[in-house]
Structure 1
Amino acid sequence: MDDTEKDSQQHTDSAPEVGEDAATSVGPSSPPPAMTEEERQELQEDLVKVEDEIQTLSQVLAAKERQLADIKRKLGITPLNELKQNISKTWQDVTTSTAYRRTSETLSQASLKASAAFSNVGSAITRKLEDVR
């Protein structure tokens, strides 16, 4: 592997990882030449404000998730109950679907025809056995 290939592998993804602070991942770089110091300062303040909002929203979400779990616990809703309800709802959706009804009707008709055919074969075998005696 030559030096250019090594360099391209070392400089792969510079996007911040999930949970990584955007300000620390960028590092201290000089502002673009077209940006004034005032614009840079304003963007820096916006960055801090957005990060604070994200932190607040994360805390609110965590509190809401705890509240949800507490309400479910008080109502006696367990993960197993939820799973049972989801399976029941899904089964109900399947059984009321047009495709299921058509398939069920087709299989029912096929079952009746198969039963009649087996009955006829049984009768024929019985007659043959009686003829042999």
Structure 2
Amino acid sequence: MPDPMTKTSVGTYESHPTSEPMALTEAEQLELKSELAKLEAEIVTLRQALAAKERRCGELKRKLGLTTMDGLRQNLSKSWHDVQVSNTYVKQKTSVALSSMSSAICRKFGDMKKSATFRSFEEQMFNKYSLNQRN
């Protein structure tokens, strides 16, 4: 089966439902080829402009004394802040807090059931219940 993705001359991929070209008139083919050539030329120009802007950005950062580590530190700090305020993180923190609280409550009830006071109370309740059942 032919690969439905083909690589264009500028490195982008386009989806093709079939490997055979659509039935186009010669005029339509020429028009599409012309449009494709213009788009590819525009992409090359945009890449060159982006590369020039990235170089200029690097020069400005060097002149300002900004290092790669400063940028990385700033990006990590911002990313961590974004994570902390995200709904998923807040929900996870809430879930962990509730889980911890329920574990603590269960542990306290377990400790309470083992206490002498609770056992005494339990025995008294059992005795009263047993007396009521007999009457």
**TM-score class, shorter:** 0.3 to 0.5
> TM-score w.r.t. structure 2 length?
0.45
> TM-score w.r.t. structure 1 length?
0.46
Decide which structure has greater strand share: 2
